[in-house]
Structure 1
């Protein structure tokens, strides 16, 4: 069994935060399918794939998705 690295732990935390974000978006935008929300979150997350620091990625993704859904 391998020992988790800081990178894998950070990635798992990011995955958890973004899953929680999808849950919040699902509650707030009941007229939007869960698949659409997932696609929007994944699209915005991809913009930060090369970022060295991921601490602010969930809030940036949330703002971008809410802006998109607000249009």
Structure 2
């Protein structure tokens, strides 16, 4: 069994943060499908893929997704 590297541990920690973020968004925006929330988070997360520092990425992603969800014409459940 291999020893986890700092990169793998950081990536796993980020994955946990994003899963928790999706849970919060699901509670706050129950009219939006979980799949749509996942897509929005993934889209915003991808914008920061090349960032050298990832500590604030979950916060920035959450803000961007919340702005998108409160904008006129946001996507709701059918």
Give your verdict on TM over 0.5.
Answer: yes
Name the Cα RMSD after superposition: 0.4
User: What displacement does 1:27 show?
Assistant: 0.1
Q: Structure 1 unaligned segments of length 5 or more: list them.
A: 67-71
TM-score by length of 1: 0.91
Equivalent residue for 1:9? 9
State how far apart, in whole Å, the 2-side matches of 1:41 and 1:2 are.
30
Deviations 1:5-62 (A, max 9, x none): 0000000000000000000000000000000000000000000001111100000000
- Which has a greater percent of helix? 1
Runs of 4+ in 1 over 6 A off after TM superposition: none
State how far apart, in whole Å, the 2-side matches of 1:57 and 1:37 are.
16
Aligned length, in residue pairs: 66
